[in-house]
Structure 1
Amino acid sequence: MTTHSPQPARRGLTVADAMDSYDYQIADDNTVDQANDIFRGADIEYLLVRDHDGRCEGLVTRAGLRPFLAPSRHTERTTISATAHQRGPFAWPTMGLALAAIAMRVKHLTVWPVVDEDGYILGVLTADRATGLLTVTPTP
């Protein structure tokens, strides 16, 4: 006969349960041209932006850079920090997933950087993943 020790009551889901790692980052002093090269080469829609200390500064999207790419002679000098892009506050891993999903809905975010207590990037939370985990009903 196999015995099982009682499982602790499961707390609500947190951002840590739903976040994904994300490897594509760019420094805020890189240029729009450099970001565009990464977007085209990696075929991605967003980049995490980090400051000179390596902390999360925000998130820039391919669509968000389009206005800065139009006058192509300026893209060599325009830095990511000079563009309009998503900035903090960011999600943290211990934040309740339901609260994060509500915040993302209110802010109209499809992706939200997740940072540690010092502001360093841990990963991203996507609205689809958060919604998907929250709508799964446990089986009895």
Structure 2
Amino acid sequence: MTLLQTHPRPAHTNAERWTATDAMDAAGLQVWDDMTVEVALSVMSAARTSHLVVCDEDGRYTGLVTRTRLTAVRNGSAYTDRVRLRDIATVDGPVSGRSS
């Protein structure tokens, strides 16, 4: 089973321009990094959100995925139904060097 934590959506919903730090600071959907691309897209559609905050099994932030990124991966020639968010989540800016 894949963990999904829901939180109220932030007033600023244009996640395409956010940094990873913005996403960590803002309330949003948090999911396990072992979720597949197809499941993540379904969660996004149901929640009407354009991004997901990706966490590891210990609940630590590991990255951010956007609908645009997931769609690009799904439409790519290397895509299989086994691609997990941990394989494609991005960490931008100062978060990549941030300690927990």
Q: TM-score per shorter chain, which class? A: 0.5 to 0.7
Distance 1:56 1:32 in 2: 18
Instruction: Provide the residue aligned with 1:99 in structure 2.
Output: none
Give TM-score, length-normalised by structure 2. Answer: 0.61
Distance 2:51 2:90 in 1: 10
Shift of 1:69: 1.6
Does the residue aligned with 1:60 lie in a helix, a strand or coil?
Answer: strand
Distance 2:87 2:57 in 1: 14
Is 1:87 matched up with 2:91? Answer: yes
Distance 1:78 1:29 in 2: 9
Letter of the 1:41 counterpart? A
* Identical residues among aligned pairs (%): 29
Letter of the 1:45 counterpart? S
Shift of 1:86: 2.3
Listed one character per residue, the Cα deviations across residues 16-64 of structure 1 (whole Å, up to 9, x for unaligned) are xxx44x1401111110011001111111011000012110001110001
Is 1:27 matched up with 2:32? Answer: yes
Listed one character per residue, the Cα deviations across residues 45-100 of structure 1 (whole Å, up to 9, x for unaligned) are 110000121100011100011122226x72x31101111x321542xxxxxxxxxx
Aligned residues: 73
Instruction: Provide the residue aligned with 1:77 in structure 2.
Output: 82
Q: How does 1:7-86 map to 2 (within 5 A)?
A: 19-20=25-26, 22-70=27-75, 74=80, 76-83=81-88, 85-86=89-90
Distance 1:33 1:65 in 2: 8
Which blocks of at least 5 consecutive residues in structure 1 are unaligned?
Answer: 1-14, 91-114, 119-140
Which blocks of at least 5 consecutive residues in structure 2 are unaligned?
Answer: 1-20
Distance 1:59 1:23 in 2: 11
